[in-house]
Amino acid sequence: MTKTKAVRVSLLPGAVRREAFARASAFRGEFYECLTARRDELFELVDAVLCGTTFDIIGSVGIAILVIVGATVAMDRLPRLRRLAKPVIAVGTMSLTAYVGHFLAQTALSTPAGTGTQQSWLPLIMYVLAAILFAAIWSRFFRRGPLEYLLNAATKPAKHIR
């Protein structure tokens, strides 16, 4: 009697192999139909189990750390990538200014509630491009953003307090 599974299967008569394959194929088809027929219930189950649980949070933090480390290594080893990312890096050096600027622009340019019927990507694209353009120009003349300078000036006296 042979001990390996591959040899045992190859020694089976052709009809038995075809029947086993047909059964496995039928099971796979029924299983797939079950999954697709119950996709809403399965989605709700996965959503309830994974969203906001400890495992989900740990996984999300782990992926975020991996992306940050990967981007840092890529920036360090690829000077051309660093040159291309310079405008985005400039926005990162003045994130408070970018956040407040987006808030003020959205407040000034938004339509009243209920009047807009279309959702458009145009405002978002304009906010992002304006922030990148402002940050790229500002960073050529100053080290920090305008609000970052104000925050630095406001917190400098705190180092003298004991």
Which residues have CB under 8 Å from 134's CB, separation 6+?
Answer: 97, 101
Nearest to 150 by CA among 90, 96, 92: 96
The stretch 145-158 carries a mean pLDDT of 92
Separation CA 11–CA 1 (nearest Å): 11
Q: How confident is the model at residue 115 (pLDDT cuts 50, 70, 90)?
A: low
The angle, 0 to 180 degrees and rounded to 10, between the axes of the packed helices 86-93 and 95-109 is: 90
Is it the case that residue 5 has pLDDT exceeding 60?
no
Q: 13-72: per-residue pLDDT in tens? A: 666 667 777 777 777 777 667 666 666 666 666 666 566 667 778 888 899 999 999 999
> 69-104: string of b/e by CB count within 10 Å (b at 16+)?
eeeeeeeeeeeeeeeeeebeebbebbeebbeebbee
- φ, ψ at 111 (rounded to 5°): -90, 155
Is it the case that residue 102 has pLDDT exceeding 70?
yes
Q: What's the angle, vertex CA 122, arms to CA 117 and CA 125, rounded to 5?
A: 145
| Domain ranges within the chain, ordered by starting residue | 5-37, 85-162
Q: 121-147: per-residue pLDDT in tens? A: 887 888 899 999 999 999 999 989 999
